[in-house]
């Protein structure tokens, strides 16, 4: 399913099977998760996708040598810059991203740099494990940046939050779920996943939060979340794109509250989450679409009509 220009539907096409270059592996793709970032790419909200492009960066498949591997968003880094050299390869300025700079997994075949592929845990089928590769990883990194916060607010209950909620509960944290005003299904979903309270994103929780994680790409949630925070708490913005943040009074930030963003992932994030997944154990809820219905899956995601994560079965 090929993107030729932003704001156009993906087109089903026959393209040559890619040949792996030096250091690359080729995977026969079996599943690829659908991420909100895919929508930002197809909508032209991210500046510089390669075109034409195969999107998709939560790829599960079998390599030519028979290993089952996952391919995440971080597809290549230079390994030498000041970020790479200090354990922050997620910030590498030369990084290349799967399904953005590199062809991704809305396809039957893909090639990837072997050093950035992740071995996948047993006990998860291909479709169930796919959402861990971005929704899970980014959520996990966001949770790490929330520090040791006990009372965690999750804003936007989509693919990421439904995984992170399980990890956070496993770690003994208390959860408060915030969903779009009036979305009763999402509210019930948040409670099912272990939130002790769930309400609308413009509401205040019954207690102050020690940290808030924003998965919804809506800038107005930043001041709303700051309002809900206890002193010293961070608001962690987990998305790659967000609408403008409205101005707000300094007193919302005062008392050492902070606002920060999560960018991309490191391989260490991947290894840690995939080791943790069977221990929790994480159970992903997925809606499965055939590859040729990728546009439909994206539209459902845009409309907020996916419960858990959408995954293409190839
Ligand atoms: Zn680098
Ligand atoms: Zn993603």
228: domain CATH number is 3.40.50.720
Residue 221 Cα to ligand 2 midpoint, Å, equals: 20
- The parent domain of residue 193 ranges over 136-261
- Alpha carbon distance 178, 156 (integer Å): 6
Asked whether residue 268 is domain-assigned, the answer is no
Distance 240 CA to ligand 1 centre (A): 19
Give how many domains the chain has, as a whole number: 2
Q: How far is the CA of 112 from the centre of ligand 1 (A)?
A: 18
Q: Residue 232 Cα, ligand 2 centroid: separation in angstroms?
A: 29
User: Is residue 76, in this structure, part of any structural domain at all?
Assistant: yes
| DSSP single-letter state for residue 204 | P
User: 272 CA to middle of ligand 1, Å?
Assistant: 21
Give the number of whichever ligand sits closest to the CA of residue 95: 1
**Structural domain contains residue 169:** yes
Indicate the pTM of the whole model.
0.94
Could you give the residue ranges of the DSSP H alpha helices within 17-62?
Answer: 36-42
Same domain, 147 and 74: no
Sequential pLDDT tens for the chain (314 residues): 999 999 999 999 999 999 999 999 999 999 999 999 999 999 999 988 999 999 999 999 999 999 999 999 999 999 999 999 999 999 999 999 999 999 999 999 999 999 999 999 999 999 999 999 999 999 999 999 999 999 999 999 999 999 999 999 999 999 999 999 999 999 999 999 999 999 999 999 999 999 999 999 999 999 999 999 999 999 999 988 999 999 999 999 999 999 999 999 999 999 999 999 999 999 999 999 999 999 999 999 999 899 999 999 99
CB distance 98 to 76 below 8 Å: no
Within 8 A by CB and 6+ apart from 97, the residues are 57, 73, 74, 75, 264
The verdict on 223 and 209 lying in the same domain is yes
User: How far is 212 from 142, CA to CA, in rounded Å?
Assistant: 10
| 270 domain-assigned | no
Cα 211 to Cα 225: distance, rounded to the nearest angstrom: 9
Residue 89 CA, ligand 1 centroid: distance in Å: 6
Give, as residue ranges, everything with CB less than 5 Å from ion ligand 1: 77-78, 81, 84, 92
CB neighbours of 78 closer than 8 A, spacing ≥ 6?
A: 84, 92, 94, 95
Task: Report whether 112 contacts 75 (CB < 8 A).
Answer: yes
**44's torsion region: left (phi>0), alpha (psi -120 to 50) or beta?**
left
d(CA 284, CA 289): 15
Q: Are strands 286-290 and 309-313 parallel, antiparallel or unpaired?
A: parallel
CATH number, domain containing residue 111: 3.90.180.10
């Amino acid at each position: 399913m090929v993107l030729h220009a932003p704001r156009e539907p993906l087109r089903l096409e026959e393209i040559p099977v890619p040949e792996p270059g030096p250091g690359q592996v080729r995977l026969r793709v079996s599943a690829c998760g659908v991420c909100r970032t895919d929508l930002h790419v197809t909508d032209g909200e991210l500046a510089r996708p390669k075109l034409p492009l195969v999107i998709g960066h939560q790829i599960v498949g079998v390599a030519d040598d028979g290993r089952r591997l996952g391919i995440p968003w971080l597809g290549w880094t230079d390994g030498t810059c000041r970020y790479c050299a200090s354990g922050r390869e997620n910030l590498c300025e030369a990084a290349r991203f799967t399904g953005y700079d590199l062809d991704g997994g809305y396809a039957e075949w893909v090639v990837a740099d072997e050093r950035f592929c992740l071995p996948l845990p047993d006990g998860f089928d291909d479709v169930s494990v796919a959402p861990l590769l971005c929704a899970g990883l980014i959520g996990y990194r966001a949770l790490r940046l929330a520090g040791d916060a006990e009372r965690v607010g999750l804003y936007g209950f989509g693919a990421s939050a439904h995984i992170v909620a399980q990890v956070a509960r496993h770690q003994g944290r208390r959860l408060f779920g915030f969903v779009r005003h009036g979305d009763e299904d999402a509210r019930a979903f948040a409670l099912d996943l272990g939130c002790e309270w769930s309400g609308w994103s413009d509401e205040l929780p019954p207690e102050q939060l020690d940290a808030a994680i924003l998965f919804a790409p809506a800038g107005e949630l930043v001041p709303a979340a700051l309002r809900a925070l206890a002193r010293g708490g961070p608001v962690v913005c987990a998305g790659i794109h967000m609408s403008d943040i409205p101005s707000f009074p300094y007193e919302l930030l005062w008392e050492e509250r902070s606002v920060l963003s999560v960018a991309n992932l490191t391989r260490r994030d991947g290894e840690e989450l995939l080791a943790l997944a069977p221990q929790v154990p994480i159970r992903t809820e997925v809606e499965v679409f055939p590859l040729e219905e990728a546009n439909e899956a994206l539209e459902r995601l845009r409309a907020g009509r996916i419960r858990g994560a959408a995954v293409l079965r190839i």
